[in-house]
Amino acid sequence: MPGDLKATASGCSLTPHMNNALEKSVEEASVKETRVKEAGVREAAVKEANKEFYKALESGSIEKMDAVWLHEEWVRCVHPGWDMVKGWSHVRDTWDKIFEGKQKMRVSPENVSVQMHGDFSWVTCTENITVVYEASFDTVQAVATNLFIYKDGRWLMAHHHASSIPMMLPDAVTDTIQ
C-alpha cells in the first residue's frame, strides 16, 4: 500500500500497519508448521499401532493382542470368511481360537494408507498372509481396514475387517498331483 514504507535517514522502515500484517503472517506460518509436524507425529503413531497389531497377530500371543485393542463392548472384528464379531470379549475369543492352532503366521501389510480425523484414524492395506503348518503352508492376500481410537495417550484398535482376495489361477493349473 502506498505510504506503508517510510524513508528514513538509515533506510526504509515499515509502518505499524505493515509491521502488524507481517507479524500476523509469520505467526500463522508458524502455527501451520506446528500443526503439520503434529499431524506427522500422530500419523507415525497410528502406523506404529498398526504395526503392533500385526506383530501381535504373528506372535500368536493373546496378551499382545489384548494390549493393542480397545476393550469396549462396541468394538468389532471380521476375520476373512467369518461373520462379524461384536464386543471385546467375543473378539478376544476369536483371537484365542486362531492362536490355539499353534501354526506360525507371517503377515506383511503393504499399500498402507492412513487417514485421520481428530482422535479417530483408519488404516487400509493389503495383507500378505502365509500360514505355516507342520508339513505345508498356505498363502493368501486380504484387504483390511483397521480403525483406531486415541485413548489414554495411545492409539488402540476398535475395529479390524479383513476380506480375502480371490486368487486367480492360470488355466494350466490343476488340482492333480503328478
Percent of the chain scored above 90 by pLDDT?
A: 61
pLDDT per residue as tens digits for the range 71-126: 999 999 999 999 999 999 999 999 999 999 878 899 999 999 999 999 999 999 99
**Helix or strand run (H / E) with residue 13:** strand 11-14
173 has pLDDT over 60:
no
Residue 1 domain-assigned? no
Please tell me the total count of domains within the chain. Answer: 1
Distance CA 72, CA 69 (A): 9
Residue range of the domain that includes 79: 23-164
34 has pLDDT over 90:
no
Domain of residue 156, CATH code: 3.10.450.50
Residue 110 domain-assigned? yes
What does pLDDT average to over the chain?
A: 85
Residue 44 domain-assigned? yes
8 A C-beta contact, residue 76 and residue 85: yes
Residue 167 pLDDT level (bands cut at 50, 70, 90): confident
For 1, residues 6+ apart whose C-beta sits below 8 A from its C-beta are 17, 18
Percent of the chain scored above 70 by pLDDT?
A: 75
25 has pLDDT over 70:
no
Residue 32 domain-assigned? yes
Residue 109 backbone dihedrals phi, psi, to 5 degrees: -75, 140
